[in-house]
Structure 1
Amino acid sequence: MTLQRMDNVGIVVEDLDAAIAFFSELGMEVEGRMRIEGLFADQAVGLDGVRSEIAMMRTPDGHGKLELAQYHAPAAIGGGAHHPPNTLGLHRVMFAVDDIDDTLTRLRSHGAELLGQVARYEDVYRLCYLRGPSGIILALAERIG
């Protein structure tokens, strides 16, 4: 048996509407939105009494997906929304963009904070890290060479 594909990356957020707006501004599209609850949810995630709402966000090419989840029950627990990029666990999600400066400007209106500065990697990429909704760290890469 072989791996077929990576289906999505799941991210728990405090405010689903704000996260959807943020990732929509980035250029992702809402593929679907639904409530998740019941025995199957409890069994799948290993929690009792799960009530959540998810939104599946899709990249324009259709290959990359984020599953944004807001837990109503049991309540989400703090996971370190302000931990630095070298914290153990999921590090960040990187997106390729056409114009890093324009993307940063648009995302700042949704609360994005640049973690360092836009850096140049040789004559190939401009790169940066930023913090988005619920402390999510994103990386942006603009190919320049």
Structure 2
Amino acid sequence: MDNTAIVVEDLDAAVAFFTALGLSIDGRAEISGPWADETVGLEGIRSEIAVLRTPDGHGRIELTHYREPEAVPAAPPAPNTIGLHRVMFAVDDLEATVERLLPHGAELLGEIAQYEDAYLLCYLRGPSGIIVALAQEIG
């Protein structure tokens, strides 16, 4: 897999959230032109993207802010929404990670839970309603 793309309302806020999570910026770019329209299936695309890489270097998230055509608002997904509903990250210290994300608008959907003697887990909502899951291996 190359990356997962997420459309966001505020690109800078989303970049701040994911860098607080530990990802690093691979690059930012303005996207427009016939090739973009043909690829995505929309006309008149003008967008800005930021690509962020996970600390292990293996995963990437592409955050996209559409200027044209305007992004289509949607209700924030629930954990049981059909389709893509969350992105999960492995972290070394789940509680410290949650504390780092709270100032960036993160909101716990439930509580930090322990699965057997194996993991601490939680779901939280981030920028633009994105659901992010965190997992800390403990066993």
Give the aligned residue type for 1:69: T
Q: 1:80-99, CA deviations, whole angstroms, 9 ceiling, x for partnerless residues? A: 22x31101111200000011
* 1:34 matches 2:29: yes
* 1:115 matches 2:109: yes
Matches within 5 A, 1:1-145: 6-81=1-76, 83-145=77-139
Distance 1:70 1:86 in 2: 25
Distance 1:60 1:105 in 2: 19
How big is the alpha-carbon RMSD for the aligned residues of Structure 1 and Structure 2?
A: 0.6
Which residues of structure 1 form unaligned runs of 5+?
A: 1-5
Give the aligned residue type for 2:117: D
Distance 1:102 1:21 in 2: 16
Distance 1:98 1:69 in 2: 28
Give the aligned residue type for 1:88: I
Residue 137 of structure 1: CA displacement?
A: 0.2
Which residues of structure 2 form unaligned runs of 5+?
A: none
What TM-score do you get using the length of structure 2 for normalisation? 0.99
Q: State the identity as a percent.
A: 64
Query: Stretches of 4+ moved more than 4 A in 1?
Result: none
